[in-house]
A and B are shown apart, each in its own frame.
Chain A
Amino acid sequence: MDKLLTFRTSLFSVQIHPGSLKINCLLILGTLVIAVLSLTTGSLWINPLEVITEIADPNKGQHTFVIETLRLPRVVLSFLVGGALAVSGLILQNLIRNPLASPDIIGVTSGASAAAVFFLSFLSGTLGTEWLPVAAIIGATITSLVIYLLAWRQGMSPIRLVLIGIGLAAGLGALTTFMIVLSPIATSMMAYVWLTGTVYGTDWQDVKALLPWILVLLPAAFLMARTINVQELGDQVAINLGVPLQQARFLLLAISVALAGAAVAYAGAIGFVGLIAPHIARQLVNRSFAALAPASMLIGGSLVIVADTIGRTAFLPLDVPAGVFVSAVGAPFFIYLLYRQHR
Chain B
Amino acid sequence: MMYPRLPDQNRSPFCATASNVLGWCLVLVVSLFHQVTAASERTVEHSMGVSQISGTPTRVVTLFQGATDTAVALGVIPVGVVDSWVEKPTYKYLRKDLQGVSHVGQETQPNLEMIVGLQPDLIVASKRRHEKIYHHLSQIAPTIALETVFDFKETLSMMGLAMNLEQRATQLLRNWENRIDDFQTRIPRKLGSQWPLEVALLNFRADHARIYLKDSYAGSILNDLGFLRPSNHPEGQWVVKLTTKESIPAMNADVFFVFMTADDPAVARNYHLWTLHPLWKNLDAPQNQQVYQVDEVAWNMSGGIIGANLMLDQIYQHFDLSPGA
Contacts and interface: CB of A to CB of B under 8 A. Distances in A.
Q: Do A and B come from one complex?
A: yes
Interface magnitude class on chain A: 20 to 34
A97 interface: no
Interface string B91-129: 000000000001111101111111011000000000011
A205 B208 CA distance: 39
Q: Which of B104, B108, B140, B149 has the most C-beta atoms of chain A within 10 angstroms of its own C-beta?
A: B108
B231 interface: no
Contact of B113 (A44, A181, A193): A44
Q: How large is the interface on B (under 10, 10 to 19, 20 to 34, 35 or more residues)?
A: 20 to 34
A220 B132 CA distance: 32
Given A182-B241, A184-B238, A189 B108 contact: yes
Interface string A311-322: 010001111110
Nearest to B243: A181
Nearest to B133: A201
Contacts of A193: 108-109
A188 to B, nearest CB: 9
A318 B114 CA distance: 10
Contacts of A185: 239
Contacts of B272: none
Interface in B110-159: 110-114, 116-117, 128-129, 131-133, 135-136, 139-140, 148-149
A317 B133 CA distance: 17
Interface in A310-343: 312, 316-321
A317 B105 contact: yes
Given A70-B116, A186-B149, A203-B136, A319 B131 contact: no
B103 A317 contact: yes
Given A65-B140, A66-B113, A129 B132 contact: yes
Contacts of B104: 317
Given A43-B111, A65-B140, A203-B135, 9 more contacts: A43-B114, A44-B117, A65-B139, A182-B241, A193-B108, A201-B109, A201-B133, A316-B114, A319-B111
Interface of B: 102-106, 108-114, 116-117, 128-129, 131-133, 135-136, 139-140, 148-149, 208, 238-239, 241, 243
23 contacts: A42-B113, A44-B113, A65-B139, A65-B140, A70-B116, A128-B131, A181-B241, A182-B241, A184-B238, A184-B239, A186-B129, A186-B148, A193-B109, A200-B132, A200-B133, A201-B136, A203-B135, A203-B136, A316-B114, A317-B110, A318-B105, A319-B106, A319-B109
